[in-house]
Structure 1
Amino acid sequence: MLDKTRVPVIVGTGQVTDTSSPPESARSPLQLMVEAAQLAAADSGSGAALLRSLDSVTVIRLFSDTVPRFASPFGKLVNPPWSLAQRLDAQPTDLVYPPQGGDSPQVLLARACERIAQGESQAALIVGGEALRTELAARRAGLALQWGEDAPSQPNGLDGVKDMYTAEEEAHGMRSAIAMYGLIGQALRGAAGQSVDQYREASARLFAGFAAVAKANPLATRRAGYSAEAIATVTPDNPYVGFPFTKLMTASAFIDQSAAFIVVSEARADELGIPEDRRVHLHGSAAAHDEWFVSDRPRLDQSPAMRLSAQHALAQAGCTLDDLAFLDIYSCFPSAVQIACKELGISPDDPRELTVTGGLPYFGGPGNNYVTHAIAEMVRCVRSQPGSFGLVMANGGLVTKEAVGVYSTRRPTRPFVRERAALIQDQIDRIPSQPLNHAPQGEAVIETYAVLHGKNGPERGVMFGRLVATGERFLANTPDDAQTLARLESTEALGLRGQVSRVGEINVFVPTF
């Protein structure tokens, strides 16, 4: 018999989406999180009593504390989980504010389950929220909102924040998700033998399926149900944000959304009278990271961390891909989904659909917190088909940190054990990294590339190249004249030859068209 005080179970979820409140009356991130937590408690059937019993509160890192250009002008929460607990009438001893990354909701759920299984916790809340839509509107209106709050202590930051980019990547203008996911996408295109047009059309077809799910989801922020043609076609309303991806192929960040879920021990659920039909278990979980910096990876079209994390999570759950009724694959860019499908062995047109929410471009991309929404939706899905299984794949960084969870209403038959990351990480760490030539000179070819856009069109070509003589990889920019950038977008540039040299602090590759 399993000890009920050590069997973790998700008992409540809550989500909030606000697309219309004017900035002077809209909610702050903290207010959105309070509402999501209250909805999660109500979803369990036990309400405020569940919130008062919390001994652990985790707040997913706010985007304002993650990306410098998103720093809020309206103040800072010194200890977000403490501020939230005060408003929920809770007195948790475990206050966590983890490092950045879209993988963090899944990772922190596994942590909460592990703490319950080890007798360290009985009730934990995981919540996140963003109000970037309101913040942008308030800035434009010249409002001075007050969203900050002091606190008597600092939260547990776990391992702390770690930079995702090298100095050389930054020097070459690659310090952005659009640059790196564009480079990964082009590498995937090359590996698949697709032309520029074929890849754009395939990416659009893929995301049209996500848009269709969002159309039916009342919590989604973009519910137009965009067609593949609309997603692929470049227009003033749908420009390239970075070639090869249009605006409708990228995460929609300027939204107001919050989500929460509560995990407790079975014993606590029994004490609070939480019905059996509210209870969902995390049957399998695993997490790992690929080579940390993109330019150090030997291949950009592969993710061993995705593949191995999924394999381990499914094995722990005792099921296979064919046993899954529901899927949610992290979808900040088409390349994130495409590489996941490749590593999991799932077709991009799998009839089960690849999202339960509508995905980051159409449901919404609330900073690091999208996967909290995905987990909340997955809980709803498996409740609707008792005994079914669903898989959530979370991605953090630049196809860097991967976390997978397998969910079901079925009661587990063995104690919860959090998969040791070292079991997977040791395999990945044995893969040799790719050395760079930092001052390349001579004939070279383009390995992968992207064209970054601003408000007025293409601005910069970024690329990984290979020296013809030695095969060494290097980072470079192309000339930024309009003709060169236009040619990179209109012709096949993978494998294109040219000359590379060091110019000041960067490498410049001049292609031979």
Structure 2
Amino acid sequence: MSDETTPILVGVGQVTDRQRALEELPGPVGLMQWAAEQAFDEAKIDRRRAAELDTVVVIRGFRESTPNSPASLARRLGADRARGWLMPNGGNGPQYLVNRYAEAIARGENRFVLLAGAEARDSVRRLKKAGRPIDWSEPPDTEAGYLIPEPEMQSGYERAHGVFLAAHVYPLFENAYRHRLGRTIDEHQLEMGRLFARFSEVAAETPGAWFPVRRSAEEIATPSDANRFVGWPYTKFMNAMNNVDQSAAILMTSVGHARELGVPEDRFVYLHGCADTNEAMFVTDRPNFHESPAIRTLGRESLSMAGRSIDEIAHFDLYSCFPSAVEIARDELGIPEGDPRPLTVTGGLPYHGGAGNNYVMNAIVTMVQKLRAVPGDFGMVTANGGYLTKHAAGIYSTAPSPSLDGAGWARRDPAEYQAEIDALAHPPVIREAEGDAVIETYTVAYGRTGEPEAGILIGRMGDIDDLSAPRFVANTPADPDLLAAMTREDFVGRRGRVANTGKRNILRF
């Protein structure tokens, strides 16, 4: 293996499409086509050379618009010989694909790869509002094949108690994290606002951001008619915004093939370090809810591969679906809370727009563009799928990646370090809980009218910090006064009595 086989990103493109006439809405495949054509153009590759692509992988959309979007995209581009794959649900997907195909290119298993994804949920919203039909189906009518299996990330037991919507699960991490820090509810609410105010500042300066609006910490943190609570303590402005029309695409190849294609070397961006990790798939099987061993391992492995420390990374895009995703990743990666380096290059999922599973594709595209503008800098992108479940990271630079012991580009098998995470102990989970119990973490789910509707909690039959103490999921009674109190007082550590009703566990105080 020589430097000629080193994998690189050579072309990137992204689209934010707003307020187009209803008759002209392109749909997801059209959005991906535009982003892919941008990627060819900015790499100085003749679009006709799309016929040489060997692989086209599409990130699954929330609503797949056609039976086989990879094949439909390939057909539009003239890449008829390319093998098409669909990447299943998970925000980690784009970075996972870069990592996977970098390795495949370095091994000679792939030569020229296109990654793409899109969401057109704003188009869907507008068409529904206008009473128009929604039909973006196109040939072929064969079903797309999935690149990898899609794991189950929630149990029926968790789902029965409301632990399945991301907007109600990430608050469980948030309240555990706040309690561990010893902050009051009001103090932490403002800290979350300060964190995301910095994200909004980046979005305000980012072409293509769906909400390019600078917001103050107080505006983000304070509930209002325009900023209601969703899953307490998160307001609407703290939630990923998926109703966007956005797409992104990446072209990957080897240094040698890029030269054959005539790509200028100032377009080359190298993947210096990467890693992929998973937490336990079910939230209730985690060791605790304020840390992420998977992100800790992810950072260690990707930085080690790149031969860099976290202090040498100039630019970040940490996955930002909710504040806890950023806070926990920041801490596990060793970035100080007051670090002046921005934690996003786009503005993040709430403000740039979280194009479903594909947001990180936009983040990588933006990172590539930023690094080309400051040659030699290093940038890190992290990606997260599920409920802080599936993780991927990449460290990028225009600086050539050095050969590893003269053997060329290679990475450690993720299975080796995943085994460390899988071996971690966690509390036993019981389905039918009866007796004295303590709250480990909780949230209050709000309705669209702005009123609290349900208390969702994870509790223990014993001490919170005792890994042998059984864990359970429960709800509280739907008492408005109780639910309101749970947002004013810290109920982590509050004791009560849990009983099983036959369908659910209910904790009473």
Q: Does the pair score TM above 0.5? A: yes
Return 31-40 or 477-486, whichever deviates more: 477-486
Distance 2:393 2:163 in 1: 27
Preserved contact between residue 214 and residue 357 of structure 1 (Cα < 8 Å): yes
Q: Which amino acid aligns with 1:222?
A: F
Question: Would the alpha carbon gap of residues 494 and 290 (structure 1) be closer, same or farther in structure 2, given more than 3 Å must change?
Answer: same
Aligned to 1:33: 32
Preserved contact between residue 285 and residue 419 of structure 1 (Cα < 8 Å): no
Aligned to 1:238: 227
Matched, 1:498 2:496: yes
Deviations 1:13-72 (A, max 9, x none): 10100232243322201100000000111110124044232111110111125xxxxxxx
Preserved contact between residue 59 and residue 96 of structure 1 (Cα < 8 Å): yes
- Stretches of structure 1 that go unaligned for 5 or more consecutive residues are 66-75
Preserved contact between residue 62 and residue 367 of structure 1 (Cα < 8 Å): yes
Return 231-240 or 499-508, whichever deviates more: 499-508
What SS does the corresponding residue of 1:363 show, helix, strand or coil?
Answer: helix
What SS does the corresponding residue of 2:153 show, helix, strand or coil?
Answer: coil
Matched, 1:442 2:431: no
Distance 1:152 1:218 in 2: 36
* 2:445 alignment partner, one of 434, 449, 452: 452
Alignment of 1:95-494 (within 5 A): 95-151=84-140, 153-414=142-403, 415-456=408-449, 457-468=451-462, 471-494=469-492
Alignment of 1:53-92 (within 5 A): 53-64=52-63, 76-92=65-81
Distance 1:292 1:161 in 2: 11
The Cα of 1:432 is off from its aligned counterpart by 1.7
The Cα of 1:439 is off from its aligned counterpart by 1.6
Preserved contact between residue 428 and residue 469 of structure 2 (Cα < 8 Å): no
Return 250-259 or 156-165, whichever deviates more: 156-165
Question: Would the alpha carbon gap of residues 92 and 111 (structure 1) be closer, same or farther in structure 2, given more than 3 Å must change?
Answer: farther
Q: Which amino acid aligns with 1:422?
A: A
Deviations 1:226-280 (A, max 9, x none): 1101001100100001101000001011010000110112222112211111110
Question: Would the alpha carbon gap of residues 172 and 109 (structure 1) be closer, same or farther in structure 2, given more than 3 Å must change?
Answer: same
Distance 2:22 2:337 in 1: 39
Query: C-alpha root-mean-square deviation of aligned residues, in Å?
Result: 1.5
Preserved contact between residue 110 and residue 418 of structure 1 (Cα < 8 Å): no
The Cα of 1:154 is off from its aligned counterpart by 4.0
Preserved contact between residue 284 and residue 316 of structure 1 (Cα < 8 Å): yes
Preserved contact between residue 152 and residue 281 of structure 2 (Cα < 8 Å): no
Deviations 1:339-396 (A, max 9, x none): 1011111123321100000000000001000000110011011111111111001111
Preserved contact between residue 24 and residue 138 of structure 1 (Cα < 8 Å): no
What SS does the corresponding residue of 1:64 show, helix, strand or coil?
Answer: coil
The Cα of 1:190 is off from its aligned counterpart by 1.1
The Cα of 1:413 is off from its aligned counterpart by 2.3
The Cα of 1:7 is off from its aligned counterpart by 1.8
Aligned to 1:2: 2
Deviations 1:384-438 (A, max 9, x none): 1111111001111100011110001111221222431112111001102321122
Q: Which amino acid aligns with 1:461?
A: G
Identity %: 42
Distance 1:358 1:328 in 2: 9
The Cα of 1:150 is off from its aligned counterpart by 4.5
Return 46-55 or 119-128, whichever deviates more: 46-55
Preserved contact between residue 62 and residue 119 of structure 2 (Cα < 8 Å): yes
Return 192-201 or 461-470, whichever deviates more: 461-470
The Cα of 1:149 is off from its aligned counterpart by 3.0
Preserved contact between residue 279 and residue 292 of structure 2 (Cα < 8 Å): yes
What SS does the corresponding residue of 2:230 show, helix, strand or coil?
Answer: strand
Distance 1:489 1:454 in 2: 15
The Cα of 1:305 is off from its aligned counterpart by 0.9
Preserved contact between residue 57 and residue 115 of structure 2 (Cα < 8 Å): yes
- Stretches of structure 2 that go unaligned for 5 or more consecutive residues are none
The Cα of 1:3 is off from its aligned counterpart by 4.7
Preserved contact between residue 111 and residue 418 of structure 1 (Cα < 8 Å): no
Deviations 1:208-239 (A, max 9, x none): 00000000002101111111010011001000
Return 46-55 or 464-473, whichever deviates more: 464-473
Preserved contact between residue 46 and residue 272 of structure 1 (Cα < 8 Å): yes
Distance 1:416 1:507 in 2: 52
Distance 1:430 1:192 in 2: 26
Q: Which amino acid aligns with 1:27?
A: P
Matched, 1:52 2:51: yes
The Cα of 1:504 is off from its aligned counterpart by 2.6
Preserved contact between residue 291 and residue 433 of structure 1 (Cα < 8 Å): no
Aligned to 1:42: 41
Q: Which amino acid aligns with 2:175?
A: Q
Preserved contact between residue 206 and residue 348 of structure 1 (Cα < 8 Å): no
Return 90-99 or 370-379, whichever deviates more: 90-99
The Cα of 1:191 is off from its aligned counterpart by 1.0
Deviations 1:105-133 (A, max 9, x none): 01111121122111122211101000001
The Cα of 1:146 is off from its aligned counterpart by 1.5
What SS does the corresponding residue of 2:460 show, helix, strand or coil?
Answer: strand
Return 479-488 or 323-332, whichever deviates more: 479-488
Preserved contact between residue 32 and residue 129 of structure 1 (Cα < 8 Å): yes
What SS does the corresponding residue of 1:295 show, helix, strand or coil?
Answer: helix
Return 196-205 or 327-336, whichever deviates more: 196-205
The Cα of 1:323 is off from its aligned counterpart by 1.1
What SS does the corresponding residue of 2:258 show, helix, strand or coil?
Answer: helix
Q: Which amino acid aligns with 1:77?
A: T
Distance 2:459 2:22 in 1: 46
Q: Which amino acid aligns with 1:34?
A: Q
Q: Which amino acid aligns with 2:507?
A: F
Q: Which amino acid aligns with 1:488?
A: M
